[in-house]
Amino acid sequence: MYQGQKLGKCRSVSFKLWIDGDACPVVIKEILFRAADKREVETILVANQYVRTPPSKYIRSMQVATGFDAADDEIVELLEAGDLVITSDIPLAADVLAKGGHALSPRGSMHTKENIKQRLNMRDFNESLRASGINSRGPEAMNQSDRQQFANQLDRFITKSKQG
């Protein structure tokens, strides 16, 4: 179900920006919403619950059914080659790359075909440690440097896309 305003024509860039909205930090969503309006990028936030988006002809939210990976599955189904997905979910990033999309973590790290296998292996290793009762630390709290790195990577991607 789409919520928010109907999008206008977004022909300034040749990709869509998809946000894995269930786990995306608020500060990153704010950066994304500002970039969507400023750079005229069609942006779709996909989540299992309603997420408020600012009024914009470039931004909409999509609420999907509650269920494990429902938002991820919807993103993979709808994205097209060249689209950018914002996610910290490594398996989703792998699926996005396999479909010809691009994946950027909220900390500003680009997932690529060259590094995704290593990241999947590390994720699986940490998951097996947790399953065996070994406590592994989660990620550090986001800081200003993370936000800046994310904003810089996003800007580089949009600029490169507009030039291409």
At residue 68, the pLDDT reads 78
For 49, phi and psi rounded to 5 degrees? -130, 165
User: pLDDT tens for residues 8-50?
Assistant: 444 456 899 999 998 899 999 999 999 999 999 999 999 998 8
Q: What angle do CA 45, 29, 155 make, to 5 degrees?
A: 100
User: pLDDT tens for residues 129-151?
Assistant: 667 777 766 677 889 999 999 99
**Spatial distance between the Cα atoms of 12 and 134, rounded to a whole number of angstroms:** 49
At residue 24, the pLDDT reads 92
User: pLDDT tens for residues 58-80?
Assistant: 999 999 988 778 899 999 999 99
DSSP secondary structure letters along 127-158: HHHHHTT-----PPPP-HHHHHHHHHHHHHHH
Buried-exposed string 140-151: b where 16+ CB fall within 10 A, e elsewhere? eeeeeebbebbb
